[in-house]
Structure 1
Amino acid sequence: MTTVEIEYCVPCGFRERALDVERAILTALESDLDRVSLVMGDHGVFRVTVDGDPVYEKSEDEYDVDAIVRAVRKRL
C-alpha cells in the first residue's frame, strides 16, 4: 500500500501549491497509489512523503511540481 502525504503550511497560504502538487501526482501516478493525503501544518512547512519517507522538503529543494512528481515516481 503506497501512501503519499503532502503537508503544507496553512498560515503561509500554501494550500493552492499543495493542491497543484496533488493534482499532478494523481494525473501521473494515480493507478500506482493507494492514497494521497493533504495534511495541514504551520511554521512554513511544505513536505511531500511517500510511505513516510520524504521526497521533497521546501527548506532543502526548489519548488518544481514536475520534479516532485519525478521524485515520487522514483520512490515507487
Structure 2
Amino acid sequence: MPAPRLEITYCTQCRWLLRAGWTAQELLTTFPADLGEVALVPGTGGVFQVRLDDDVLWDRAAEGGFPELAQLKQLVRDRVAPDRSLGHSDRR
C-alpha cells in the first residue's frame, strides 16, 4: 500500500506560498517515513486547504482561519501513525 499523499492548496493572490511551504516542511519533518509525498497546489480566491489522500483535514473557508500547527499535526498523526506520540505538540 503506497504512503499517503498530503496536498496543501494555497492562494497565490494572497501570497500564502510561504505559509504553505512552512506547513509542508513541518509535516515532512514530523512524519518523514509516513507520508509518500507533500504537494503544494496553487489556487486562488483565499483558499488554504490541507488534504490527506481524499480527506480534507483543514479548510480555511470552513474553519474560519488557518490551523494551529500542533492541531494539524494531530490530525495527520491520527490518520498515518495513530500510536505515535507527538511530544509537546500532543493533546493533553
For residue 53 of structure 2, the aligned residue among 51, 54, 62 is 51
Runs of 4+ in 1 over 6 A off after TM superposition: none
1:21 aligns with 2:23: yes
Q: Which moved more, 1:34-43 or 1:60-69?
A: 60-69
**1:19-56 Cα deviation digits (max 9, x unpaired):** 11101100100111111100000010000000121001
SS of the residue corresponding to residue 59 of structure 1 reads helix
Q: Which sections of structure 1, spanning at least 5 residues, go unmatched? A: none
Structure of higher CA gyration radius: 2
Give 1:13 shift: 1.0
For residues 52 and 42 of structure 1, what CA distance do their matches in structure 2 show?
Answer: 20
1:42 aligns with 2:44: yes
For residues 7 and 59 of structure 2, what CA distance do their matches in structure 1 show?
Answer: 12
For residues 7 and 57 of structure 2, what CA distance do their matches in structure 1 show?
Answer: 10
For residues 50 and 3 of structure 1, what CA distance do their matches in structure 2 show?
Answer: 6
The structure, 1 or 2, with the larger RCO (C-alpha pairs under 8 Å, 6+ apart) is 1
Partner of residue 10, structure 1: 12
Normalised by the size of structure 2, how large is the TM-score? Answer: 0.76
Q: Which sections of structure 2, spanning at least 5 residues, go unmatched? A: 81-92
RMSD: 1.1
Give the share of equivalent positions with the same residue, in percent: 32
Structure 2 letter corresponding to 1:3: R
**Larger strand proportion, structure 1 or 2?**
1
